[in-house]
Amino acid sequence: MRNLVRTVFAVAVVLALAGAVTAQGQLNGAGASFPFPIYSKWFDVYGKAKGAQINYQSVGSGAGIRQVTAGTVDFGASDGPMNDDQIAQFKKDRGMDIYHFPTVLGAVVPTYNIPGVSSDLNFTQAAIAGIYLGKITKWNDPEIANANKGVKLPADDIVVVHRSDGSGTSYIFTDFLSKASADWKAKVGVNASVNWPVGLGGKGNEGVSGLVKQTPNSIGYVELIYALQNKMPFGNVQNASGAFIKASLDSTTAAAAGAAKDMPADFRVSITNAPGKTAYPICSFTWLLIPAKFSDAGKRDTLKGFLNWMLADGQKMTQDLYYAPLPKEVVQKELKAIGNIQ
Amino acid sequence: MATATTAGMGAGPKPASRSFSARLIQGDQVAHVVTFLFAATVLLLVTLLVIILWTHSALPRAKFGLSFFTGRTWDPVAEDFGAAPFVYGTLVTSALALILGVPLGLGAAIFLAELAPPKISDGLTFVIELLAAVPSVIYGLLGIFVIVPFVRSVLGPVLIHTLGWLPLFKGPCYGVSFLAAGLVLAIMILPFIVSVSREVLLAVPTDQREAALALGSTRWESTWKVVVPYAMTGIMGSVFLALARALGETMAVTMVVGNVTEIKTSLLAPGYSIAAVIANEFTEATSDMYLQALIELGLVLFLVTFILNGLARLLILFTSRRGGTA
């Protein structure tokens, strides 16, 4: 009996200590899966350097917004900014504001599989919108052919592929399509999941690229990182200035820089179709969602420390993982905004 | 009852104890209580599931009512939701899985139970039952890398060429289709049908077979006309177990069905299913209405399964009354 009491006491002490250790400034976050690789790396490196433990679960942007509103996690992450309704809901439920902090940039590229065509195709904005609306049905349509003089395009039907699962990639792509085509904006709209007029659905970047690789005369859209890592061919897209730009880390950062001048103070901005000669038109920020007030000073300081580190050293690590770093103008603005977190 | 036995067996002056603790020490009462609790827990879980599905789908139920079942659009932006394409897809892929899987499975079970030498029967059954342990994602990969290209390059063109006049086989074939999903599901439900049917067939008493043979029937006649009808209830049970798996299958279906929210009569056309759309869109569903619409889809699937199981019970009741013995 005495032994039993001793064991229970010992276990209780160990658990209490473990609880105390983990409670000290441990942060929990959840949200977008697109930036998960870079967030994992950042939290790991920062954690080792400063002894802080930041735990992140990539459950999806929607779930991230829901959990940070419910207070289950200390911060959220989303590929699309919270809309006004969601911010109002957060204010109502938690009694404070929520701040958006852009962390990295992502881009979406059109990938295709046309037997006999090995060069990079140029896509006008009208071409991509028309293809995804189902209005342009053949590869040798004038809208596509005129931008690709010298390339022999077949008279075959275009097989359109999109994402079946809700995702930030679809959000960025539909945001671009809404700007490229008023028709798309009216009929379909912008969201992580939309009612696609035409096309097959693939699950995840892997699903889309798998379908495109297997189906001749198909076109799909994937994240730039995915295309680069898997050495997939992708086309050039015409930007707002009329130039055909191939997506790259540089052209993505250029798009954000172009949009930085008119950026609102809360960083909730769409940078698709950004101005600038070298800007790639289909890109977007991904944001960390941070509540305005923290009751736990340890957590607040850890988070502020992380944000400062992320905007300086963290940005240097993005290129290795094929993420585009934030432009300097945005970094400056964010460093100032960190002071708002109480 | 326990007290009666103790009273009967206790041969001495010790009176039969009627206290609860004494009854409890006897195994019977404990077993009675414990197994009752287990059964009640299962029932409770099902009820809880229905309650949660019901209460968490209040918004779309209020907005759409019964038109949710007939609506053909699934538009998260305009928040216009309809379940028809998904219900259609679920029913078509499951029906196809049964049509393809049951003859194959039953045939295999009959061979393994009746016609194969015992060693081969045991060995093959072991291998077939292993199929049930394979995760459905692996079947999805099998679907993507083997079945979809097969349907696109071989099966689709052959069907269009020979039976293209039927509305069932019209239209362009991309590989991802109801047919591909039906094929993958058929492979997945095979182990259930084969192992359960084989057990049931083996359990048919030898006198039934011997009686048939004695009356002059051939081996096949005795199997098909006597043994199989005798085991029909059990075989139907295995079919409905397989159907339940096919209805709820998520990953394997979403990887090969094409994920297109449309109702098409052609089996070569891509489609969608309830489980697939829930798996695809649940994590990124941002608005409450959207999330609850997905939960209502879950409720619809529950309802479909419930109705089909009810029909199954009726069918078993009908056939067992008619001819076969229960």
Per-residue pLDDT of chain B (326 residues; tens, 9 = 90+): 444 444 444 445 555 556 767 766 677 888 899 999 999 999 999 999 999 999 999 999 999 999 999 999 999 999 999 999 999 999 999 999 999 999 999 999 999 998 899 899 999 989 988 888 899 899 999 999 999 999 999 999 999 999 988 988 988 899 999 999 999 999 999 999 999 999 999 999 999 999 999 999 998 999 999 999 999 888 988 898 899 899 999 999 999 999 999 999 999 999 999 999 999 998 888 788 999 999 999 999 999 998 988 888 887 787 666 544 44
Mean pLDDT value across chain A = 89
Instruction: Give which of B284, B289, B290 to mutate to test A binding, by max A Cβ within 10 Å.
Output: B284
A151 alpha carbon, distance to own chain's centre: 33
- The answer on pLDDT for A186 being more than 80 is yes
Amino acid at B246: A
State the nearest Cα–Cα gap between A173 and chain B, in angstroms: 14
* Edge-to-edge strands, sheet with A236-238: A122-123, A236-238, A244-245
Other CB atoms within 10 A of residue B141 CB:
15
In whole angstroms, what is the distance from residue B256 CA to residue B307 CA? 26
Residue A17: its pLDDT value, please?
55
Q: What is the pTM of this model?
A: 0.84
Amino acid at B213: L
Q: Do A203 and B259 touch (CB under 8 A)?
A: yes
Average pLDDT (A90-107) is: 92
Residue A128: its pLDDT value, please?
95
In whole angstroms, what is the distance from residue A185 CA to residue A132 CA? 12
B185 close to B246: Cβ distance less than 8 angstroms:
yes
Residue A28: its pLDDT value, please?
94
Residue A225: its pLDDT value, please?
86
Of residues B77, B259, B279, nearest to A191 (C-beta): B77
The structure tokens listed for A126 are: 């009208």
Q: Do A195 and B261 touch (CB under 8 A)?
A: yes
- The answer on pLDDT for A42 being more than 80 is yes
User: What ipTM was predicted for this assembly?
Assistant: 0.81
Residue B58: its pLDDT value, please?
94
Residue A51: its pLDDT value, please?
87
- The answer on pLDDT for A19 being more than 70 is no
Q: Which residue has the tokens 């036995």?
A: B5
Partner residues linked to A221 by β-bridges: A110
Of residues A60, A190, A200, nearest to B260 (C-beta): A200
Indicate the pLDDT class of residue A157, thresholds 50, 70 and 90.
Answer: very high
B289 touches chain A (CB under 8 A): no
